[in-house]
Every structure is written in C-alpha cells, then in structure tokens.
Amino acid sequence: MKSIRVGNLSLGGKRSPLFLIAGPCVIENEKMVLQTAEALADICSDLDLPLIFKASYDKANRTARDSFRGPGLKRGLAILKKVKREFGLPILTDVHEIAHCQPVAEVADVLQIPAFLCRQTDLIQAAARTKRCVNVKKGQFLAPWDMRNVIAKITAVGGRSILLTERGSSFGYNNLVADMRSLPLLREFGWPVVFDATHSVQMPGGGPSGKITGGDRRMALVLARSAVAADCDGIFVETHPHPDRARSDAANQLPLGEVKALLRTLRDIHAVVS
C-alpha cells in the first residue's frame, strides 16, 4: 500500500491511522462552515485521527434545476481558504469543470472527481496536472476493477497522489447498495481507499417530491462500521449542525453532535483489524 502526502498528513501505508474526510455537503454560509470545521478539528484532535475538511463550493449535479448549489467558485474558495488558515486543516472540494482545477488547486489539497464524472478523461487529467492529490469517487455504474483505467489516466499525466472512494452502486431505481467486497478489490491497486458512508445511503432522486435525493442516515453508521472492519484506509462522512435544515443531502448527513461517538467506535475497530 502506497503512502501519500496530503497537506501535513501522511495517509495510507502499513499501520497508518484511520483518517477522516468530513464536512458539510455544500457551503451554505461562512459561519456554518467555520463552526463545523472547528468542531471536527477538536473531535479529531481528541481522538488523534487525521482530518481532511470537505465542503463543496458548487453542487453542479443537484437533482432539480432550482436546487441550492452553493456560493460559487470565488466566494467558496475564499471560505475554504479561511478554514485552512484558521484551523490548519487540509481541504478537499469537488471540481466539475476543467477550468476550475487550477484555481481550486491554489486552495485545496485534494481535488475530488464526482462519481458521475469519474470517466471524464479531460477533467481527471486536468486535476492530476495540478500535482494535487486526486480523490476519485467510483461511479455508481462501475465495478471496482474498472477503476484501473481511471488510475491509468491520472498516472499518465504525472499524477502520483490518488485516493479511491467507494460510494455505493446503483441497485434498481432510486437506490444504492454498498458491497464491502469492493474495498479490498480497490486496495489491490495500491492506493489508499476511502468509504463514503453518507453518500452510500442515498436514494438518488428518491425524495418525496422527486426533486431531491432521499436516504436514511441511520444506515451510514452501520456501513461505516462495516467498511472499517473490511480494512478501508479512510472514512468520508458529510455532517451538519442541523441536518434536517441542510440545503443539500439533508436526509443523509450526520448530526455534528453524533460524529465523535461514531469516530471513537471506528477508531477502535480499525485498531483491531489493521
């Protein structure tokens, strides 16, 4: 297993601690983002877990055209830069456009390729050319072994820092299933593997109106424990101070007040299996 550097963190490799990628789904406002980042930084400091802070400046793949997307590139990056400065945390955010990769790389330590875009060669390679770490969400439509081709696209342009994230597979209509066999299969490629616990419990487009994504956040706790037992390297969770009021993925985000108890359990499971 390769060890990679993300900011001041060393991730992956033998006997490395479980790491966390966490934050709200989308930047709603600066106050909420800073509140969430401070709480997560304190939690991970207490539990001695490496933390990468995640938030999106633009949710370009919302279900409906009138859904809230975020503050946009300029304002969003300014808020993420403030998180980095005030709390010393590495930053992850997703990119949807080739032109965004370079400005995002000036702030973020990890450029994330959304699952729906994981076969978009030009976008993937633009992210890799920034020399930042690239986190690729495995598409809901891909088998684990199909990620071999994604990795090849990154390394072909000099990318040397990769995370692979499992986030569930399409299972009929408006539903996903998480197959834990995917995690050891992805780890065979030699890069650190992350399990996205909150997106794996989505019901895409399955909200009551058909205009939002539904889900069941209770199952994120079950899947996170299972994934760590299956020996993933990191866990991805979206969290919000008041999830039911969140402007994106309200059904799936974990209450910020419940994150510490979950992470304590995950840390202990990881200590047994690693």
H-run or E-run covering 6: strand 3-6
Question: Which domains are present in the chain?
Answer: 3-273 (3.20.20.70)
- Residue 274 in this model has a pLDDT that exceeds 90: no
Beta strand spans in 152-207 (E) = 162-166, 169-170, 176-177, 193-196, 202-203
Residue 88 to residues 76, 85, 210, 242, Cα–Cα distance (Å): 17, 6, 40, 24
User: Which tens digit of pLDDT belongs to each residue from 10-68?
Assistant: 999 888 999 999 999 999 999 999 999 999 999 999 999 999 999 999 998 878 888 89
Q: What is the dihedral of CA 153, 156, 159, 163, to 10 degrees?
A: 30
The mean predicted confidence, pLDDT, of the chain is 96
22: three-class secondary structure by DSSP: strand
CA pair distance 259, 274, nearest whole angstrom: 22
Contacts of 119 (CB under 8 A, 6+ apart): 139, 142, 150
pLDDT of residue 212: 80
CA distance 71 to 81: 14
> pLDDT value at position 210?
73
Q: How many CA atoms lie within 13 A of 68 on its CB side?
A: 15
Is the distance from CB of 138 to CB of 165 less than 8 angstroms?
yes
pTM of the predicted model over 0.75? yes
Q: What is the pLDDT of residues 159-205, one digit of tens each?
A: 999 999 999 999 999 999 999 999 999 999 999 999 999 999 999 98
Read off the pLDDT of each residue in 137-161 and give the average, rounded to a whole number.
98
For 70-93, what is each residue's pLDDT tens digit? 999 999 999 999 999 999 999 999
Question: Mean pLDDT over residues 148-153, rounded?
Answer: 98
